[in-house]
Structure 1
Amino acid sequence: MTEIHHGGCLCGAVRITVRGGLSPVSFCHCSQCRRQTGHFYATTDAAVDDVSITGEEAISRYRSSPEAERGFCSKCGSALFWRADHSGRMSIMAGLFDMPTGIDGGYHIYCADKGDYYAINDALPQYAASSTV
């Protein structure tokens, strides 16, 4: 049986359905993620072909680097996803999914760039930059 995960933004204008598995949560501490959300990013990855989005007209996209874009709801401002160009996967904000999510924490990335106002106190693997996972 195929796993199905539903989620959406704060105002409900954007809804996301993933038909298939979700990866463990990646916690990204880079400065771009912190500036966009006010803290670190918590995402789960899914195959692009497994993702369907309703409310596409409410999504604004921002090119955060030459290689990737970030999507957010233009109505409520909720961060939605990060996607590298030409990738078959997308990173979707873990907090968007309806509970129970069935996903677990996986690892921390860009720890060398983390904010100075918090500590990482769990036992998950930590990588100075991108993970090798």
Structure 2
Amino acid sequence: MKLEGQCLCGKVHVTIPKIAEEITVCHCHMCQKFFGGPFMSLAGVLPEKFTISGEEQIQRFMSSEWAERGSCKKCGSSLFYHSLADNEYYFPAGLFDELDQAKLTEEIFYDQKPAFFHYKEATEKLTEEDFLQKLFTDS
């Protein structure tokens, strides 16, 4: 599936030629602060597998030792989570209009999920410890 998306003001465009239609939800406290709620993202994408136009409009923030987050300097839209451990970029599902067939498959940092978030889909649920172990073991 090819996806094309953009930030709210249209200054930054993201094109992903091919990606699985799977959505991961991150419940970590940093994502809740950055996105204002859980982070619904596409699967990780390596830099050579997507293009971004409007790079000069991107503000990058090192949110931890292992990741940076990007947002648009003009409108403030959240653009990505960049995992430095595996060099993959995770894009918010909301940047793209063509995700009608997407399926929620995984929830990470499940132990930090606020009690009022509930999803009806059956998903794999990883705690912070499980997720970090998987991240640093697989990379």
Higher helix fraction (1 or 2): 2
Structure 1: gaps spanning 5 or more residues: none
* Aligned residue in 1 for 2:27: 29
- CA separation of 1:126/1:47 partners in 2, compared to 1, >3 Å: closer, same or farther? same
Q: Corresponding residue for 2:11?
A: 13
Deviations 1:75-126 (A, max 9, x none): 111111111125242111111012245422111110111224x132322222
Q: 1:88 to 1:65 in 2, by over 3 A?
A: closer
Residues 27 and 41 of structure 1 are in contact (CA less than 8 Å); yes or no, is this contact kept in structure 2?
yes
Check 1:64–1:13 CA distance in 2 against 1; reply closer, same or farther (3 A cut): same
Name segments (4+ residues, structure 1) moved above 4 Å.
none
Residue 80 (structure 1) aligns with = 79
For normalisation by structure 1, the TM-score amounts to: 0.87
| Structure 2 counterpart of 1:76, one-letter code | C
CA–CA distance in structure 2, aligned partners of residues 23 and 65 of structure 1: 27
Distance 1:74 1:106, change over 3 A: same
Structure 2 vs 1, CA of residues 101 and 89 (structure 1 numbering), >3 Å: closer, same or farther? farther
- 5+ unaligned residues in a row in structure 2: which ranges? none
User: 1:50 corresponds to which letter in structure 2?
Assistant: K
- Aligned-residue Cα RMSD (Å) equals 2.0
For 2:99 and 2:27, the matched residues in 1 are separated by: 25
Distance 1:126 1:61 in 2: 29
Paired residues, what number?
A: 130
Partners of 1:100 and 1:80 lie apart in 2 by 16
Could you tell me the percent identity over the aligned residues? 30
Which residue identity is paired with 1:53? Answer: I
8 Å Cα contact 1:69-1:85 kept in structure 2: yes
Counterpart code for 2:3? H
CA distance in 2, matches of 1:78, 1:7: 12
1:22 to partner: Cα distance = 3.3
- Between the aligned partners of 1:61 and 1:13, the Cα distance in structure 2 is 15
